[in-house]
């Protein structure tokens, strides 16, 4: 199956036009978010490990951010309950 055909199948599955899917792919490649992996097996493994570390680091940072926001919300809910007894 060709790459163009795969895009058409994915687009049809998500009920969008193939042109829209192609534009999204082109835009992602232009941003650098869809960079290809090296052909060499060892280089590919190292690149995947590097990407995994980067994603794990970002995931940890985002989890801390969500935890901080949840704490802020809990504090605000307590303050609201104290100032507005029902």
pTM of the model: 0.53
Same domain, 48 and 67: yes
Same domain, 14 and 43: no
Q: How sure is the predictor about 18, in pLDDT bands with cuts at 50, 70 and 90?
A: confident
Tally of domains in the chain:
2
Same domain, 6 and 20: yes
Q: How sure is the predictor about 71, in pLDDT bands with cuts at 50, 70 and 90?
A: very high
CA distance 10 to 22: 10
Average pLDDT over residues 18-27: 87
Query: Is the pLDDT score of 28 beyond 70?
Result: yes
CA distance 17 to 23: 10
Query: Is the pLDDT score of 56 beyond 60?
Result: yes
Same domain, 42 and 20: no
Domain that holds residue 84: 37-86
Structural element, H or E, at residue 84: none
Same domain, 8 and 41: no
Mean pLDDT of the chain: 86
């Amino acid at each position: 199956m060709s790459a163009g055909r795969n895009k058409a199948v994915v687009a049809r599955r998500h009920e969008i036009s193939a042109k829209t899917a192609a534009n999204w792919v082109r835009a992602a490649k232009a941003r650098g978010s869809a960079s290809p992996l090296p052909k060499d097996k060892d280089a590919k493994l190292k690149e995947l490990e590097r990407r995994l570390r980067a994603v794990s680091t970002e995931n940890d940072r985002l989890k801390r951010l969500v935890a901080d926001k949840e704490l802020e919300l809990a504090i605000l809910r307590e303050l609201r309950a104290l100032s507005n007894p029902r």
